[in-house]
Amino acid sequence: MGRKHFTSKEVPDREPIVSRDVIFTRDAAIPPPGYGHRGKSEMNDKIRQPPDTSMKAEKTKRKKGRLSADIQYKLGQQLRAMYTDVVNEGVPDQFSELIQRLEKRDEK
Amino acid sequence: MNAQDDVRGAMLAAVPSLRAFAISLCGDVDRANDLVQETLLRAWSHLDSFEPGTNMSAWLFTILRNHFRTEYRKRRREVEDADGGYAERLTAREEQTAHIEFGELREALLKLSPDQREALILVGASGFSYEEAAKICNCAVGTIKSRVNRARLRLAESLGVEAVQEIASEPETPLAASGGRDE
């Protein structure tokens, strides 16, 4: 009990996130087939290596040329979900009011 | 009058995605709203440079993006640890809003270079083609493609690394941990 640092209260809260954001949570530590191999075996570098590695040269030294289609798909899904989350908030009043003001100003 | 209605309609219709784009770029809702407001003001006063029949949304994205880049460069000079500032504001936002589930993703996004971030958002979330994104960012299509590619890699890497660290802190129960049972 003491070994794990989350309390029993935190666990149920976290569960749905774990299962939804597969690649962003613990599960990501188990790479899907293809992904892990590539990361470790550092030979798959026929894929063009972008020249701009200047500032992150240190970190990118474990070479990965490409993400698996699966990871890429999930990443895209998450990005779009995050984006849509904001889009769904619609047009805040301040902006429709702003346009109205601009129109009125031009009418004069 | 009709033309003006069209313009107004198109501008308002673009606001939700402009906001989503701006929040993804800067990680801060208030600042994003300022960016959108400034974009609309600029667009309104330069309506004559908008070519009718072309994509209003892409035009507005271009204005917002350029404005953000100018501002970003200014801030860079003013505040040394811009990234630290972003991170703080990001945390504040997480506490304030119900968007916690995307906190990790947003944080990882902010670790990308601005070039990579804007390319990834435009193509991966806003739904622009590589060609449109290249126009918005004023660079070659190939450049956009490689930025998107690198952005994906780095994003996956930074999200992955965090997950690995989480597990590393519980060495005894590497797999059981994902079940969340604690008995």
The predicted pLDDT at position B74 comes to: 82
Q: Do B12 and A91 touch (CB under 8 A)?
A: yes
The predicted pLDDT at position B45 comes to: 93
For residues A81-107, give the mean pLDDT: 93
pLDDT tens across the length of chain B (183 residues): 566 778 889 999 999 999 999 999 999 899 999 999 999 999 999 998 998 888 999 999 999 999 999 988 887 777 655 555 555 555 544 444 434 468 888 889 999 999 999 999 999 999 999 999 999 999 999 999 999 999 999 998 888 744 433 434 444 444 443 443 443
Q: How far apart are CA B83 and CA B75, in angstroms?
A: 11
The predicted pLDDT at position B88 comes to: 54
For residues A90-94, give the mean pLDDT: 96
The predicted pLDDT at position A31 comes to: 43
Q: Do the domain assignments include residue B71? A: yes
Distance of alpha carbon B107 from its chain centroid, rounded? Answer: 11
Scan residues 56-95 of B and list those with Cβ closer than 8 Å to A.
none
Residue range A45-78, pLDDT digits in tens: 445 555 554 444 444 444 446 677 788 888 888 9
Please state the pTM of the whole predicted model: 0.65
Interface predicted TM-score of the whole assembly (ipTM), two decimals: 0.74
The predicted pLDDT at position A51 comes to: 52
Q: Do the domain assignments include residue B144? A: yes
Contact between B68 and B22 under an 8 Å Cβ cutoff? The reply is: yes
Contact between B71 and B103 under an 8 Å Cβ cutoff? The reply is: no
Scan residues 2-41 of A and list those with Cβ closer than 8 Å to B.
3-6, 8, 11-12, 14-15, 17-18, 20-21, 23-29, 31
DSSP A11-48: HHHHHHHHHHSGGGSGGGGSPPTTHHHHHHH---TTSP
Q: Is the pLDDT confidence value at A28 over 80?
A: no
Domain that holds residue B27: 3-77+96-168
Residues of chain A positioned with their CB less than 8 A from the CB of B36: 95
Contact between B152 and B120 under an 8 Å Cβ cutoff? The reply is: yes
Q: Do the domain assignments include residue B66? A: yes
Q: Do the domain assignments include residue B82? A: no
Contact between B134 and B141 under an 8 Å Cβ cutoff? The reply is: yes
Q: Do the domain assignments include residue B174? A: no
How many folded domains does chain B comprise? 1
Residues of chain B positioned with their CB less than 8 A from the CB of A15: 180
The predicted pLDDT at position B161 comes to: 47
Scan residues 101-120 of B and list those with Cβ closer than 8 Å to A.
101-102, 104-106, 120
The predicted pLDDT at position A68 comes to: 77
From the list A70, A72, A18, A65, the residue with the least C-alpha distance to A39 is A65
Q: Do the domain assignments include residue B83? A: no
B159 Cβ under 8 Å from any chain A Cβ? yes
Q: What is the CATH number of the domain that holds B131?
A: 1.20.140.160
Q: Is the pLDDT confidence value at A10 over 90?
A: no
Q: Do the domain assignments include residue B85? A: no
